[in-house]
Amino acid sequence: MDVLAFHEAIDGYCSDSGQTLLLRLAVQDPQPEQLFVRIEPDNEEYLVAMSAKERVGLWCFYDAEVTKSPHTHQTEYLFKFVGEDDSCWLGSAGTEPHMPRNIHMFRVSHDAHIPAWPSEQVFYQIFPERFANGDPTLSPFSGEYRYLDRVDIVAKQWHEQPDHKTGGFEFFGGDLIGLRERLPYLREQLGVTALYINPVFTSQSSHKYDTIDYFNVDPHFGGNSALQQLIETAHSNQMKVVLDAVINHTSIMHPWFQAALAGSEQDKARYVFNEHGYASWKGHKNLPTLDFSDPVVLKDMITGGDSVIRHWLRPPYNIDGWRMDVVHMIGEGSGAKNNDHYLRELRQVIKSENAEALLLGEHFFEATAWLQGDQEDCAMNYFGFAHPVRAFFAGLDIALHPIKLDAQQFGKWLRETRARISFKHQLLQFNQLDSHDTPRFLSMLKGNVELLNVAIGFLMTYIGTPCLYYGTEIGLTGENDPGCRGTFPWDEAEWNLGLFEHTQRWIKHRTTLTSLASGAVVDLYAESDCLVFARVLESEQALIVLNRGEGCSLECRDRLIPLTSEWEQLEGGARMSQLSGTLTFDVPPCSISLWVRR
């Protein structure tokens, strides 16, 4: 059967009504003889008949009420179309001639504490030591102390480049005072609305992923008062703040580990000591792994009344969420044993302090298992966004090996990754082009700013929560750590102003078009170098055409339910025409275009 249908868990198509879900499905003529919703309320199949309700042009809308699954954190369902001599199915990955696998069932999470606000934001990631120096008297000076009691730290001038030889113990003087002073740039000039800040707690390194004191902001960043003032100023400007938590491991200079080395059995129990020494994060001996089977570790980090996780969610700081470093590695012993148990505990604690607080997990690879409604709100979407985007635009995989991906393969990768999680979780997935752990995207593109423009437009229009890494908007370059952690040049003569203005416009589109923040994805075309898709709500639709290659013409089937207004072009040089259910585009080279209708 060739069925053109639309369903996604957007308002009007999926309504939560106590113990039931009201589901809506739109089907274009010709209509099937029978329509069913397939559910598994007790792990057994039930087919619920759908009834026709109304028509809009060639589209007919069907409704059904189904029982929510009482034994899981989410309800899963599919649609079945039955004709005279054939049948087919609609799941989250599209229409199929046979019943899809369960991973491609539509999902609705039952958790009322999945926050909606992140998808409405444009985040900006800041590596504090390299963003802005607000108080030079706080800056470390060369030889001030010995890093890990081994080597003198190195102070560098703001205009110098990071050096891999001194990486973690070289300092440029960035602090939270400087970040607070630059909030007008971020909020008013650039238009970002939320901050994700790399670790700020006391540490001997410049990156702060080796924590010595979880309850005090590093004095070189300005201490606790600087963080409090930063958050208060951000909140007064309607900006959210998410901090980075590193609880899988500590620094070897942490008092617990030092006491363990000195013979304290109580402190030794916090870590994993054996005949070969002690377990550490990925073998880095300066990052000893915490053992969450020790009740004191669990209490101090997560569950205790004054735990690290609770402390910063409470006044006077009131952070808006946690980004959990290597969250999939938190567990018992030297590995991640019972990881899901501890993440459920973590979720319960965070939501008990603030139901709207964000729980964001770091995963460099697929995070589906952690995004089923009982653990994380969202993940750093490397597998579902950064990996395919890097492959499609830069021809590189996560290991920086060459890879060739055309638009059809690109679209398939994106569709399959979002199909495995609920629509609410899709909206929150944390999308980035690059980060402090990867080469800068412009460097991966070998300096091709036009291609970066297309990628930024895609970042701002694709489903999920967009996050810019600091300096992307002005054309910063840099290879792997520490090259990707260079300082922000505040002299505008060093900026690519064309790129900056382009980024400003697309951020504005993202923050003003509701469909880009909360709309479903409808795939329309994917071949060669071009991708066409829409973000749709009942009352607004955005249409996006991107091309990484030469100028071309393309034609695709119009799979969008019509609205009352005509398309208005907001961005780009592509030209569109409509005729008899077909969309035709003339697309300029290396471009991205945007239309909206309501």
Catalytic residues: 325, 362
Give the burial class of 505: count Cβ atoms within 10 A of its Cβ; 0-12 exposed, 13-18 middle, 19 or more buried.
Answer: middle
Cβ atoms of residues 49 and 82 within 8 Å = no
Cis peptide preceding 316, ω within 30 of 0: yes
299 CB-near residues (< 8 Å, 6+ apart):
307
411 CB-near residues (< 8 Å, 6+ apart):
523, 526, 531, 533
List b or e across 377-390, with b for residues whose CB sees 16 or more CB atoms inside 10 angstroms: bbbbbbbbbbbbbb
> Which residues, in sequence order, are bridge partners of residue 358?
321
Distance of alpha carbon 145 from alpha carbon 369, whole angstroms? 43
Distance of alpha carbon 517 from alpha carbon 509, whole angstroms? 10
CA atoms within 13 A on the CB side of 51: 5
Positive/negative CA dihedral, 241, 379, 359, 420:
positive
CA 137 to chain centroid: 36
| Residue 414 φ/ψ, nearest 5 degrees | -60, -45
480 CB-near residues (< 8 Å, 6+ apart):
438, 439
Q: Which residue type is seen at 147?
A: Y
Using alpha carbons only, give the angle 530, 532, 535 rounded to the nearest 5 degrees: 150
